[in-house]
Amino acid sequence: MGKQSNTQKISWTKGKCLGKGSFGTVSLAINELDGSFFAVKCVDLATCLPNQLESLENEIRILRSFSSPFVVEYLGDDVTSYEFLTTSYRNLHMEYFQGGTVVDFGAFKRRLADVDERILRWQTRCLVSALKYVHGQGIVHCDVKGKNALVGSDLATVKLADFGSAVDIKMESAGNRCMSLITPRGSPLWMAPEVIRGEYQGPESDVWSLGCTVIEMVTGKPAWEDQGFNSLSRIANSDELPELPTQLSELGKDFVKKCLRRDRNQRWSCDQLLQHPFLASASPPNTTKGSSPRCVLDFANSDFEEDENTENVDDSARERICKLATVRGVVWESDGWMAVRSLSFLRVSSVNCEEGINTEYLESMRTGLEFPDCFDGSNSVEWQCGNSEDVRGLKSSSVRLRCDFSALRSHGYRSENVELAVDKGEFRFYRYCNLLLQLFLSNLRIFRYILYLIFVLITTLLQLFLSNLINPKLSQSTQA
Ligand SMILES: Nc1ncnc2c1ncn2[C@@H]1O[C@H](COP(=O)(O)OP(=O)(O)OP(=O)(O)O)[C@@H](O)[C@H]1O
């Protein structure tokens, strides 16, 4: 599929959800003109938080400027509107990866046998090559982890994705980054010690996260056990290193150790890592190609919904799509951002949004955490959560709330307490209004009638009340 220019509008249809992250929902999509597939990351402009849109715009800007066989390919971006222009989405179009993430792939291999180190070495090599390219462009990824390494249908293709948290270090003077406290970006359990301490986040920090990712690829779990704040303290301040998987060869262990040096100046660069014997002789696995669907006719379980953006539709493509498409109403992400955030204390792994949430990683590990609120200058916990009053007292933004939650977990509070805090937060009014709007716009006509009746009732009562107030005598004589 050729690159769309970002101004060129294409007609496309959104399909099943591929994954949900903290910054967007990724769905399968089909280009109605040529029947090719792509992945689309969408942010609902009406309900998103400012940092979600910012992150998507950041990713669009960065991916658009990249061209590497190791980085997910940008295919275009647009804004789509539905329901008489009342709902709009900002969309990023990317190449679609059928093989899931390296963690899903690792899990599949683990079910079959012990970890296949040949494939591990090749996939790691692809990731290091990706980071070498990214760093060469003056960008730090800031969120390297298994979930952001996507696997192609041939299993030999592994590309780095999710540049929402990436920073352009060309634009920031190195001096500033080192001297001032930085706002950590990324997923806490993959963060380098210097990042959690708020001191520095550069290419070396991505290499630390890569070391954690290799462990994750072998074990299927994050390199550090999630113990809330304790884990962050251990990563930031102790001399400990994560446990190296016993299944990994000595060569593999040595490679990981080179990534996980606590002193960032001692950590190996991507150039050095590519020369490490663990990667130097890595070769692509022999795989059988051909099972990957290339057009809609090859696709068995298509689950596509109509997009309103239907200019220039090729009739034959449309016919083919209509044969396969389901006619059910569009289920827009009404369970989207706010719902995901209010469930932030469940364990979330975003494999299939429609089948619900299954348990893998804690939401508190995810991108977007900001730690400065939680650490004082000496990097100790700034405050202790002594009782649930602390929770009730919160006027939480998502950022504060997450920090508070981590502290709560280490004190053994139940998650319900924290969910209350979400409701008491400043989102509440906004969320209810949004819910009403979503109901009104949804396909459930009954809600429209009920809301309409309530509206008529209120205006009638208001009219009566006002007429009484303005001219009570007149209304008395009318009653007489
Ligand atoms: N191009 C793609 N092809 C197939 N699946 C994808 C693609 N991009 C993303 N996904 C799926 O969607 C999930 C979420 O995507 P992504 O990590 O980019 O979102 P995010 O909101 O930035 O997440 P995070 O919370 O990690 O920051 C991925 O883990 C992956 O399973």
Considering the chain, what is the average pLDDT of its residues? 70
Tell whether ligand 1 has an atom less than 6 A from the beta carbon of residue 162. Answer: yes
237 — alpha (psi -120 to 50), left (phi > 0) or beta?
alpha
Q: What is the pTM for the complete model shown?
A: 0.64
What's the CATH number for 100-169+182-281? 1.10.510.10
Structure ipTM: 0.94
Of 105, 147, 349, which is best to mutate to test ligand 1, by the most ligand atoms within 8 angstroms of its C-beta? 147
How confident is the model over 156-191, as pLDDT tens digits?
Answer: 889 999 999 999 987 665 545 544 456 778 888 999
Average pLDDT over residues 185-211: 93
**Atom 20 in ligand 1: which residue has the minimum CA distance?**
21
Average pLDDT over residues 452-456: 88
- Alpha carbon distances (Å) from 146 to 149, 161, 272: 5, 10, 22
Q: What pairs with residue 101 in β-bridges?
A: 150
From CA 443, how far away is CA 458, in angstroms rounded?
24
Query: 259 C-alpha to center of ligand 1: Å?
Result: 24
Which 3-state string (H, E, C) describes 142-210?
A: CCCCHHHEEECCCCCCEEECCCCCCEECCCCCHHHHHHCCCCCCCCHHHCCHHHHCCCCCCHHHHHHHH
pLDDT given for residue 110 in this prediction:
58
From CA 458, how far away is CA 434, in angstroms rounded?
20
pLDDT given for residue 274 in this prediction:
97
From CA 292, how far away is CA 398, in angstroms rounded?
39
Residue 424 has pLDDT above 60, yes or no: no
Higher pLDDT pick, 452 / 271: 271
From CA 409, how far away is CA 337, in angstroms rounded?
23
Q: Where in the chain is the domain with CATH 3.30.200.20?
A: 12-95
Residue 268 has pLDDT above 50, yes or no: yes
Residue 103 has pLDDT above 60, yes or no: yes
Is residue 37 within 8 Å of 293, Cβ to Cβ?
Answer: yes
For residue 187, give the ligand 1 atom closest to its CA.
26
CA dihedral 442→325→27→94, nearest 10 degrees, is: -130
Is residue 170 within 8 Å of 157, Cβ to Cβ?
Answer: no
Segment among 115-119, 253-257, 262-266 with least mean pLDDT: 115-119
Residue type, 240: E
**Atom 30 in ligand 1: which residue has the minimum CA distance?**
19
Query: Which residues are part of the catalytic machinery?
Result: 143
DSSP-assigned letter for residue 23 = S
For residue 165, give the ligand 1 atom closest to its CA.
27
pLDDT given for residue 190 in this prediction:
95
Residue 222 has pLDDT above 90, yes or no: yes
Average pLDDT over residues 432-457: 73
Share of the chain above pLDDT 70, in %: 57
Q: Where in the chain is the domain with CATH 1.10.510.10?
A: 100-169+182-281
From CA 212, how far away is CA 199, in angstroms rounded?
20
Of 136, 121, 211, 216, nearest to 168 by C-alpha is 136
How confident is the model over 245-261, as pLDDT tens digits?
Answer: 998 999 999 999 999 99
- pLDDT-derived band at 229 (thresholds 50, 70, 90) equals confident
pLDDT given for residue 211 in this prediction:
97
Higher pLDDT pick, 161 / 112: 161
The answer to whether domain 12-95 has CATH 3.30.200.20 is yes
Query: 39 C-alpha to center of ligand 1: Å?
Result: 9
- 41 appears as a binding residue in the annotation: yes
pLDDT given for residue 411 in this prediction:
37
Of 26, 51, 191, which is best to mutate to test ligand 1, by the most ligand atoms within 8 angstroms of its C-beta? 26
**Atom 23 in ligand 1: which residue has the minimum CA distance?**
21
CA dihedral 126→131→134→139, nearest 10 degrees, is: 160
pLDDT given for residue 115 in this prediction:
54
Higher pLDDT pick, 19 / 301: 19
Query: 291 C-alpha to center of ligand 1: Å?
Result: 22
For residue 72, give the ligand 1 atom closest to its CA.
1
Average pLDDT over residues 235-246: 93
